[in-house]
């Protein structure tokens, strides 16, 4: 059955579900993948909330279920395969501008399997190469610096910086988007970490 969605996103509807790791970010929502068997029951809420685009970060370890669900419900599906090192920068870099435009437009749902680590990475890429230029705050890296009462252990953010650094080097040689100078890039890396450390300690 096709569901007609709202004109603008109501994130509260999604936050009231039991989708794991659900949270608002940059005018959209992050959480676990919407194609998991646990989240299929939330699709009516997803559509009614007004999600316009679903950003899929998994890199080949999934079926086409999510793409099909998006198509059935007139939601844009955007595949942005990502991990710390195996997905080539040649695959990631040409899609950056579209990722930036989707996040800038809001009304999106961005997710990896757990909605934590690759999602943190994608949001870090957005902020480092684009969002900071728009005076946005860094993303809270909730998979790497969880709140003390979350029951989760943080993951070393070195994987995020491995990807950020290699992508920066690639974009220095292949100017597909505007990038900050080296000094600004280094300052942003520090700000990215400090923001999440501070937020996790509050």
Q: What is the CATH classification number for the domain harbouring 126?
A: 3.90.190.10
Gyration radius from the chain CA atoms: 16
Domain assignment present for 4: no
- pLDDT value at residue 6: 46
d(CA 130, CA 199): 22
Domain assignment present for 3: no
Domain assignment present for 195: yes
Into how many domains does the chain fold? 1
| pLDDT tops 70 at residue 5 | no
Domain assignment present for 6: no
Domain assignment present for 140: yes
Percent of the chain at pLDDT > 70 equals 95
SS3 25: strand
- pLDDT value at residue 202: 74
Which tops the pLDDT comparison, 144 or 65? 144
| Sheet architecture: strand order including 108-112 | 23-25, 28-32, 108-112, 53-56, 76-79
Residue that is written with structure tokens 């679903």 in the block: 54
- pLDDT value at residue 62: 60
- pLDDT value at residue 49: 96
| pLDDT tops 60 at residue 156 | yes
| b (16+ CB within 10 A) / e for 179-193 | bbeeeebeebbeebb
Mean pLDDT of 111-120: 95
Q: Containing domain of residue 56, as a range? A: 11-201
Mean pLDDT of 160-171: 97
- Cβ-Cβ contacts under 8 Å for 132 (sequence gap 6 or more): 138, 180, 188, 191
Domain assignment present for 2: no
Task: Output phi, psi for 113, to 5 deg.
Answer: -60, -50
| pLDDT tops 70 at residue 54 | yes
Average pLDDT score, the chain:
92
Domain assignment present for 60: yes
Domain assignment present for 141: yes
- Name, of 3-12, 31-40, 183-192, the range with top average pLDDT: 183-192
């Amino acid at each position: 059955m096709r569901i007609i969605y709202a004109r603008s996103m109501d994130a509260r509807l999604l936050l009231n579900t039991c989708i794991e790791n659900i949270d608002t970010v940059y005018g959209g929502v992050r959480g676990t993948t919407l194609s998991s068997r646990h989240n299929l029951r939330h699709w009516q809420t997803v559509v009614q909330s007004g999600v316009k685009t679903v950003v899929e970060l998994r890199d080949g370890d999934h079926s086409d279920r999510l793409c099909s669900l998006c198509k059935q419900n007139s939601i844009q599906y955007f595949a942005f395969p990502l991990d710390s090192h195996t997905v080539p920068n040649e695959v990631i870099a040409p899609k950056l501008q579209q990722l930036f435009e989707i996040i800038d437009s809001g009304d999106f749902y961005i997710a990896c399997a757990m909605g934590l680590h690759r999602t943190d990475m994608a949001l870090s890429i957005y902020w480092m190469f684009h969002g900071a230029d728009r005076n946005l705050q860094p993303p809270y890296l909730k998979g790497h610096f969880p709140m003390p009462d979350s029951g989760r252990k943080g993951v070393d953010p070195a994987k995020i910086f491995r990807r950020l650094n290699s992508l920066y080097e690639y974009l220095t040689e292949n100017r597909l988007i505007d990038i900050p100078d080296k000094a600004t890039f280094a300052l942003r890396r520090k700000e990215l970490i400090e923001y999440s450390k501070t937020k996790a300690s509050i």
